[in-house]
A = this chain, B = another copy of it.
């Protein structure tokens, strides 16, 4: 059963010699300031729990209205903040919309405060000042000292349990605030209901239901304390109508059943006698019974240190599947990126397989683990392909989760942007089709017919985002969608993914239909202009059109100049449409070299000067494949130039080191692939398009037991160009390498040079896949 044969000994040796080094090179604070929207807290790979400090999520006064700063605090943390509100258990990694921050704990001492206070007046509430000097963040572990209370906080997790260890100052009784009103995206009234039961003096159960970005998010919990509770109570900051039972019970003090809409509770302990308090917080989406099972299975009878070691071991194991050589900063960036690709998607089921489905019923997972947090507009590009390569079991289960989602959807839609048994349908396209097609193409154990049915059904929900018009007209007209042009481009690629899957399923009828739909990108191309351009229902193009303007021109998070290149499945068709190779190259070159006037990004929260290279915006995903498009032209060496520029400029081992939202690992996965020297331009095909390695050595250990090495001795900013390539010792002329090539194991050697080899990769037979070449 052990599939690790060839690579086994090597892996053992590598692990023994370098694994500790790998985990130590991860720097979780990369991207925690500014736009990266990552968090520094503790989690295990793909765990349900992301236990991390929230430095602020409280509404701010904006034009007289208190509103949460929802964009900056997507992950609850900004490095430049000087106070910590508390430690909550669910965080999205690198997203551009905020939510979660569920079940916040905060240790305090002294006077009881049940409100969080504010940034400007921290003493008004229970929050505390802190210094980054006391902060330690490694995969699976986080530590900080809370200066206002002199409490040392240590955090670790299992997949479903967050573990806190608080060390209170000597001789002082400690308190824990459990704030069920706290949250990220925490507008007034987000919490619909919260409930706590004090089951005994060391165990709580409870839940809360929120109406946030996830329309209805049910989080159940079980919380155990290592010391008995001495005293407890709560305040509900919103009046409850019926409170007749207040006459029967001392409900505010030591009353074991607390409920309300704005419920903040506290628990006091005799830490004067025993300063260390360990708290285990198990979550479940199904029930408190499920949370108790999770607590029992994953964290009972193990101490904080033991669990922290386990969390660390899991990361060591996962991170050890890639070894690289580079400068310390490059290695930190690489392993941190790899780390960031394994946070979301996240497990979303109990240890016994029960999970909340999209229909809000509790289902029993059979034959797969259920996952959630699918930021698919971002992650179909490189995050899911990377997981398909390095973590095929998890990637396959993610696809199963998407298929079940589709089956539970009243619309019959695959996930678009889904989390916590809800879809918020953020961004555009139905890119789950890409992930399904890619998984099937790469041999995942998926029922192809079931998958194809889910894909076809999704693409025919005629009331969703212009699909009806798209089917009738061949494009989404500008009347029905403000992002009509980009959506049309995205649908066309997603339809190609269905076409591709239908071919695998031997379903010619569907294949033929979707082959047609995959060519719809042509319908919104203005050949006179040479760019994609939105059309009205009557066929006329939008007037007064600006190819450099991102918003208001029929595109989303990318202007026409960038987005017009979004035909990953038919680059040769696109080249023709753009007026031939010369014009195509001119547009590509100009994209990277133009001066983009400030007016095109000054009011845009997603684009700053720092994330621009010419007019190329790396912080937003639609451009991610563009530098690789040179591979289809006579000048593939230009890819080699530009990817290194992007790597150098957009990724830094620094708190502001990400040039945009990490987007659930997509930015990081781009980094991993590009560092290796190739990129999945068209997920669904088995091809990775060659660029140039960023690092001199990358060694992949696959789950099948094989190893694949990428070597580029002497590679540097200067020696960035590929002179020649050898695969397993033989000269290799193609502009791509296949999934199977990698899985077979072997060595891909790049001879690097400080001048481009302009002859390599220009033969037609060496070019990557393009749909219209099939005939």
Q: Point out residues on A near B: beta carbons under 8 Å.
A: 97, 185, 187, 189-190, 192-193, 195, 197-199, 205, 207, 209, 211-213, 215-216, 240-242, 244-245, 247-250, 254-257, 259, 261, 287-289, 359-362, 410-411, 423-426, 463-465, 481-482
Contacts and interface: CB of A to CB of B under 8 A. Distances in A.
Given A211-B240, A256-B411, A360 B288 contact: yes
B193 A209 contact: yes
Given A248-B464, A359-B288, A198 B410 contact: yes
Contacts of A424: 242, 244-245
B425 A249 contact: yes
Given A242-B213, A359-B288, A248 B192 contact: no
Nearest to A416: B248
Contacts of A209: 192-193, 209
Contacts of A481: 247
A697 to B, nearest CB: 44
A199 B410 contact: yes
A362 B362 contact: yes
A97 B195 CA distance: 24
A185 B240 CA distance: 13
A221 to B, nearest CB: 13
Contact of A360 (B207, B212, B241): B207
A207 B216 CA distance: 12
Given A195-B360, A211-B240, A288-B360, 19 more contacts: A189-B241, A192-B193, A192-B261, A193-B211, A197-B359, A197-B410, A211-B241, A212-B241, A215-B240, A244-B425, A245-B423, A245-B425, A247-B465, A248-B465, A249-B465, A254-B463, A257-B410, A288-B359, A288-B361
A381 B522 CA distance: 81
Contacts of A242: 185, 212-213, 215, 424
Instruction: Tell me whether chain A's interface is mostly helix, strand or loop, or mixed.
Output: loop
A216 B360 contact: no
Contacts of A240: 211, 215
Nearest to A188: B241
Contacts of A195: 216, 360
A249 B464 contact: yes
A423 B257 CA distance: 11
Contacts of A190: 241
Of residues A212, A261, A410, which shows the largest number of chain B Cβ atoms within 10 Å of its Cβ?
A410
Contacts of A241: 185, 187, 189-190, 211-212
Shortest beta-carbon contacts, A-B, top 3: A245-B425, A197-B410, A248-B465
A761 to B, nearest CB: 41
A727 B236 CA distance: 62
B463 A250 contact: yes
A560 to B, nearest CB: 20
Nearest to A213: B242
30 contacts: A97-B244, A185-B241, A187-B241, A192-B193, A192-B209, A193-B209, A199-B410, A207-B360, A211-B241, A211-B261, A212-B242, A215-B242, A215-B259, A244-B425, A245-B424, A245-B426, A247-B465, A249-B465, A250-B463, A254-B463, A255-B463, A256-B410, A256-B411, A257-B410, A257-B411, A287-B360, A288-B360, A288-B361, A289-B361, A362-B362
A607 to B, nearest CB: 20
A769 to B, nearest CB: 31
A361 B426 CA distance: 32
A287 B362 CA distance: 8
Contacts of A245: 423-426
A423 B207 CA distance: 18
A224 to B, nearest CB: 15
A365 to B, nearest CB: 15
A425 B287 contact: no
A684 to B, nearest CB: 24
Contacts of A288: 359-361
A137 to B, nearest CB: 30
Of residues A189, A198, A213, A482, which shows the largest number of chain B Cβ atoms within 10 Å of its Cβ?
A189
Of residues A197, A241, A426, A463, which shows the largest number of chain B Cβ atoms within 10 Å of its Cβ?
A241
